[in-house]
Amino acid sequence: MKSITAGVLDIAYLEVGPAGGAPVVLLHGFPYDVQAYDTVAARLASAGRRCLIPYLRGYGATRFLAPQTLRSGEQAALGADLLAFLDALNIERAVLAGYDWGGRAACIVAALWPERVTGLVSCGIGYNIQNIANAGTPAVPETEHRLWYQYYLHGQRGHAGLTANRESFCRLLWQMWSPTWTFDEPTFDQTATSFANSDFVDVVTHSYRHRFALVDGDPAYQHIENRLAAKPLISVPTVVLEGADDGVNPPKSVDVGARQFTGPYRRQIVSGIGHNFPQESPDIFAEAVLSLPSSPV
């Protein structure tokens, strides 16, 4: 475990692989943590890649530097954190790979700062940048019912419920989102320690409220949110991985997100895999990373 001051955070992260290897940043989602990449990182390291795996804001040992900083989980904050992480480690360019919240951070940096990204792996929703202006538009009921946890967290009851039941709440999401993944209790327990972060509940609830324009974001990131509202295209080489059994974002027959990518692009749907793609299918995830251009060593 290492840590580094980056932006408004002291970011805790794992580093696996040769220090001189081409850098890959592996980004976890909600409600997961860096353990999702244990096998992926080992395989990438054996191929000579330097893997950097940060705990997102509100998770694990990552901490805010100042008590007055808004515990925001908005998309712009996640992207700014990732950019600050690259800057703090003096990484000029890297492959970015992630899913869920981590995939969103990767997509944002790839879209707004493509000169810092040699390739992108995005799981589930390929173009994982939120269209907040349209957040109030209802989806079809089949989609709406899968978002119950987001609506639950919009109110004080959800905040209190996540505070009191964070482990059982997150375990339920693991089960619902990856119905074909048989994880054992030690695997869940190893990750669940990251939910004990004192900022976890505030960051999570802010994220699910902000994406529906129910609360204000951090003014420090408004300039980024303004750029994201224009739905910027992603020009870097990209692989989109989707689990056929994803219980929250099941693949659609038509790849509508493909139009947001202007560079080399490939989409792969994998049967028997749910939402936590890197932990459920580490070989395919690692292969996707290795298929992308890397920074020269």
Looking at residue 70, which CATH number applies to its domain?
A: 3.40.50.1820
Kindly report the three-state secondary structure assignment for every residue of 15-54: EECCCCCEEEEEECCCCCCHHHHHHHHHHHHHCCEEEEEE
What Rg value do the Cα atoms of the chain yield, rounded? 18
**C-alpha to C-alpha distance for 112 and 176, rounded to whole angstroms:** 33
So what's the pLDDT on residue 181?
Answer: 98
* pLDDT score of 138: 93
Instruction: Report if residue 252 sits inside a domain.
Output: yes
Q: Which residues pair with 117 in a beta bridge?
A: 94
Asked, as a colleague might, if the bond just before 264 is cis with ω within 30 of 0, I would say: no
Question: Is there a domain that residue 297 lies in?
Answer: no
Chain centroid offset of residue 175 CA: 19
Q: Taking the alpha carbons of 120, 114, 77, 41 in that order, is the dihedral positive or negative?
A: positive
Does a structural domain hold residue 164?
yes
In the chain the first and final C-alpha atoms are separated, in Å, by 23
Q: Is residue 265, in this structure, part of any structural domain at all?
A: yes
Per-residue model confidence (pLDDT) at position 72? 98
240 in a structural domain? yes
Determine contact, residues 97/71, Cβ cutoff 8 Å: no
What domain count does the chain have?
1
pLDDT along the chain (297 residues), means of 10: 98 98 98 98 98 98 98 98 98 98 98 98 96 94 96 98 98 98 97 98 98 98 98 98 97 95 98 98 98 84
Could you tell me the residue range of the domain that residue 81 belongs to?
2-290
d(CA 55, CA 26): 10
Q: How far apart are CA 77 and CA 68, in angstroms?
A: 15
Residue 296 within any structural domain of the chain: no
Q: What's residue 187's pLDDT?
A: 98
Asked if residue 295 belongs to a domain, the reply is no
